[in-house]
Structure 1
């Protein structure tokens, strides 16, 4: 039996990490929600997507609404959707001056062919446009089970470049991981980051309370192969439509890692609800209570 003090520490860590977790929403969801959901506490960090083929306007408008709700908006900036340097400057100024926030999620974005001159996030960071406009916290993507477009060595090299730029420019760069269903590759990946000199805080991507079909569909798209095998092995735990046990499968091992290792890079959780926003928020509120 484990140490009661350690179990208590894990419980406290679990509640804290869940309570402080962020969540992702689409502009469409925000625009059709008349008021802040009761289960969304003021101060919550809310990421707003910028969907492929759409203008930035709906994302910016949704971020304004999130700000009015008393929450902290984090707009997605998929660099392959940005056509040129003036567009990047316009967006960065809108984020800092209109939204009065200094946070963005900087990702490569979908599509094999960039819309303009930016093919990857490092290229944007090297322009110093975000830094010069006052953006200080930049979330970037992490791939515990590998990226569909990069080798593990290439992914590690990009993280190292971002970390170096962040240290040079005084940025708070944080990793938001791809969806995780299985804690084993996640824990191995975090240890590998530390072994290779990466010290960026990690926010673990978790699924919302959605159907197994949607989880598998997204998993296939993102290439989380080991997690899909884990998901198949847990079929006996699946409800017909929802998978309410999914978050705990990853949350508990992460909380144990944080409680037992002061050098852990894990700093929080980030929920991808895929439309099940209200259900995910309700679970998050109940599980994060003191």
Structure 2
């Protein structure tokens, strides 16, 4: 394929990934919104957080409102927030029966001590409770730059392999949402490592919204949105890298390139963490991703 055609194909794939991306919102943002944001197309998949110290009812109410907007809600379910299996069963039934969805995001959660017997998402999946409730589509976390918890060599890969086996056994569609990615190099290396070791789970790349790195840091440390908080805590040593200009384009285009050129590539989509800038992220998403110069200008005016 000539270079011009190849670059055009990468650009088309990158724009499609941005337009079809999922994104994350907090219950507070959703409850404060009087109507569906103008730049949010109907049918968009919205992940709704369940933050430490808040009841699941707030997440459930936000999911209902997102459903009223004509979008697809995906509630977070932190394993360490579950007091017991009856609580997990009740939540699973609320998701399937009240929200009429069979899709959730499983995270370990940032509680230092589990509320019950579930210390992580693998333990939660092994109970079979969500499967019994009718949950069939499950997102789990991936860690291209290392997990703050799983630090033994091969541990993260072993956990993903066990989740994949549970999915195959129970007829689940399990997908990976990665932690925030600012550098394509470790992301691409991680994806190759997964493929080389028999992991076939689709990967959705986690990216920050169009915000300056310092704003992302402040927001993540304050709110602990999704995997943002543990990631930021674990990556403090790399903060010198975050002071440099970084744009989603720097990650999206290499991902698109791999999708086009690599048979069996695991990349399937993008997931945005707006980090407090939902409107800006939606506008950028609607535009299919600004050119780097326009993006950088937006950061300077933030």
Q: Is TM > 0.5 for Structure 1 vs Structure 2?
A: yes
Distance, in Å, in 2 between the alignment partners of 1:180 and 1:226 is 15
TM-fit CA distance, 1:122: 1.3
Alpha-carbon separation, structure 2, partners of 1:221 and 1:19: 27
SS at match of 2:287: helix
Superposed CA deviations along residues 38-95 of structure 1, whole A, max 9, x for unmatched, are 1110110000000011110000000000000000000000010010011001000000
Offset of residue 3 of structure 1: 2.0
Distance 1:265 1:227, change over 3 A: farther
Report the CA distance between 1:215 and its aligned residue: 3.0
Q: How many residues align?
A: 279
The runs of at least 4 aligned residues of structure 1 exceeding 6 Å deviation read none
Q: Deviations over 1:150-182 (max 9, x none)?
A: 125111111011000001111000000000011
Checking the alignment, whether the CA contact within 8 Å between 1:145 and 1:225 is kept in structure 2 is no
- SS of equivalent to 1:267: strand
> TM-score scaled to structure 1, two decimals?
0.91
In the alignment, what sits opposite 2:223? Answer: none
Task: Name 2:206's counterpart in structure 1.
Answer: 205
User: Aligned partners of 2:27, 2:242: CA distance in 1, in Å?
Assistant: 29
Give the match for residue 16 of structure 2: 16
Q: Does the 8 Å CA contact 1:180/1:227 hold for their aligned counterparts? A: no
2:118 is the counterpart of 1:118: yes
In the other structure, the counterpart of 1:148 is: 148
Task: After TM superposition, give the deviation of residue 274 of structure 1 in Å.
Answer: 1.3
Q: Is the 8 A contact 2:249 2:289 kept in 1?
A: no
Partner of 1:223: 234
SS in 2 for 1:254: helix
Q: Which runs of 5+ in 1 are unaligned?
A: 238-244
Greater Cα shift, 15-24 or 149-158: 149-158
Which residue does the alignment assign to 2:288?
287
**For residues 108 and 191 of structure 1, do their structure 2 counterparts lie closer, same or farther at Cα, with a shift above 3 Å needed?**
same
Distance 2:279 2:239 in 1: 25
Return closer, same or farther for 1:118/1:170 CA change in 2, 3 Å cut-off. Answer: same
Q: Name the structure 1 match of 2:256.
A: 255
Residues 55-64 or 248-257, more deviating: 248-257
Q: CA RMSD in A?
A: 1.9
Work out whether 1:166 is the aligned partner of 2:177.
no
Which residue of 1 is the match for residue 3 of structure 2? Answer: 3
Q: What TM-score, normalized by structure 2, do the two folds share?
A: 0.88
